Structures are given as C-alpha cells and as structure tokens.
Amino acid sequence: MFCLRPVAASALALALAVPSAAFASCGSAFCSVNTSSAFMNAGLAGDTRLGLRYEFIDQRHPMHGDNDVSVGELPRHHDEVRTLNRNTLFTLERDLAPDWTIGATLPLVDRSHKHIHNHHEEDGDVHHVPETWNFRELGDLRIEARHELLTSREQGVGVSFGVKLPTGRTNLKNRDGDLAERSLQPGSGTTDLLLGAHWRRELAGGSTAFASVSADLATAEHDGYRPGHRMHLDVGWLKPVSDRLSFPLQLNVSYKARDRGAEAEPEDSGATTVALSPGVSWQMSPHWQLYGYYQRPIYQHVNGVQLTSRWSAVLGTTYAF
C-alpha cells in the first residue's frame, strides 16, 4: 500500500468527490480542484475520515465565447450581473477493505445572485428590473464507491462509481416570489450517474504524480430540466518539502454540455474551462490535516453569455480515526 505522509494533506479532504465546473449561465458553481483521497489513501492514521471543505467563487465577469463582454452588451431575457458562491462540503469516508472505499458528500450552498430582467411591454417599451436571490441550502447528496485495481508503493490504479441524489431544492424563490432559474437552484432535481478512474505514481525525490478522469451523467429530466453532462480531467504533482509540509499543483480541465428541457437555457449553458491550481498542505498530526488551493482559469470558452470567475479558492481539513 502506497504511503506518503508529507503530501497526504492535499488530497484527503473530499472523499471520492467528482468536481463540478465553475460555470453556468447564472454562475452557480463548485470549484473544480480535485481533493479526492484516491491519491493519498494511507496518509492519515485511521480508516474513517471526516472532511470539511470551503469554496469561494465570485462570478462577476460575463463572457461570450472566448471573449469578455459587459453586462447587457449582448442583450438576453436576463442580463446576468453577479453570482457569489460560498460552498461548504461535508464528507464521510470509510475504508471497507484494503481495496474498497465508500463515501458520501453533502454540500451546503450559500449563493447570492443578481441579474437584470428585461421586461418587454406590449407597446414596445423595455423595463430593466433588477432581481436578486440569496439563499443557504443543502444541495444534492453524492454517494460513491472506489475500488483499487492495482495498489503498490510505486503506483496505483482504481475506478469509482456512484450516484448523485436529488436531495437539494429546485423551487427556491426570492422575496418578490420570483422562482430562481433552474441552473441557479441548489439541486438539479435529477439522479446522476457518477463514473471515474484514477492513476498515481511515485517519482524520484519523493514527489508523486497523479491523474483522474470523471463523468457526471444526468439520467433523466425533472420538471422540464436536464443538466448537461459534465466531464473532468485532472493532472497533478505533489512535492513534499518536509515531514509535514508539501506543495501540490494541479491542471483541471472541465467540460459541461448544454442543459436541456423547457426550463433550461441551452443557448447560454455549457462551457469548457482549463485551470491551474497551486496549493499547500500541512499535516497537523497523524490524524489531522489542513490544505488550501488557489485556482486560476487559463482558458475559458462558454456558449452564449455566461458569468465566469477570474479566480477561486479552496480551504479544507480532514480528521481520521
């Protein structure tokens, strides 16, 4: 079994998590930094792990294709202005056997959103009405199992599979009684199939390389809305500099297809993002670890007009027993 304690902190916080891309027409988002424990399975003392991860994603920059645009430059029914995402993710993970792990992740979504509703009157006049939503709600529960196909000190290969359950609300309204757009809601209303595969290898000098691919596939439509399929590719490198301190670096590639259905916005949904994510990790004790990441997109392409972020941040901790 591979064990590299100095670098374990960077990956043990969000068990089995398949990251969600930081884009959508309204700006609803989760950060795509990968903190799966698949890469550092034996870093903490204990076979049960509790994880807490906080994400900050401020989406205030409209884009059209590859280009920045100003709010309202390309008029839509809604001119998106800003979405501030502050997500907290709670994780429980258990090693059932040397080559099997099961885990669950539940997000608490803290989201504020503002857009301008362009209301067209019968006489041809257009009224520009600001609308806002602010909520803190539980999102969709993710349950996954991971199986290690090859495990040694030098390298490992594994696969994961699971489901995302429709536990989050899809009918939130603001104080004026206006229903939030479906891509803004804390839940999608759909049951999704989660699939993934990962690889890691120990390199000379004690560093570690890893890679993973994953997919989040909506299996059906709910109330006129089916979220676009999501695909992720993560490539990373972790370098220990002491018994407790290490510096991870990731390249995160995210692709989201267009949303579908009568309540979706297919013309303004779906995107591709490539981001660079340097981080730091610290092992407080054999049972407790901390980590942080700064993520910066280096390429973004969106369909239609969508809100994007210039940077995002992740802070997390894991306790094992």
Residue 122 inside a domain? The answer is no
pTM summary value: 0.89
| Contact status, residue 158 vs residue 147, Cβ threshold 8 Å | yes
Residue 40 inside a domain? The answer is yes
| Contact status, residue 301 vs residue 272, Cβ threshold 8 Å | yes
Residue 302 inside a domain? The answer is yes
- pLDDT tens for each residue of 139-187: 999 999 999 998 887 888 999 999 999 999 999 999 999 999 999 999 9
Radius of gyration for the chain, computed over Cα atoms and rounded to the nearest angstrom: 20
Note down the domain range covering 232.
5-110+137-320
CB neighbourhood size of 222 (10 A): 18
Residue 207 inside a domain? The answer is yes
CB neighbourhood size of 18 (10 A): 27
Total domains in the chain come to 1
Residue 254 inside a domain? The answer is yes
Q: Residue 256: what residue type?
A: K
Instruction: Supply the CATH number for residue 96's domain.
Output: 2.40.160.40
3-state secondary structure of 208: strand
Burial per residue of 42-70, b for 16 or more beta-carbon CB atoms within 10 angstroms, e otherwise: bbbeebebbbebbbbbbbbbbbbeeeeee
- pLDDT tens for each residue of 56-100: 999 999 999 999 999 988 988 888 999 999 999 999 999 998 899
What pLDDT is recorded for position 117? Answer: 85
Q: What would the mean pLDDT of 293-311 be, rounded to a whole number?
A: 96
Residue 237 inside a domain? The answer is yes
Burial per residue of 140-156, b for 16 or more beta-carbon CB atoms within 10 angstroms, e otherwise: bbbebebebeebeeeeb
3-state secondary structure of 184: helix
Residue 117 inside a domain? The answer is no
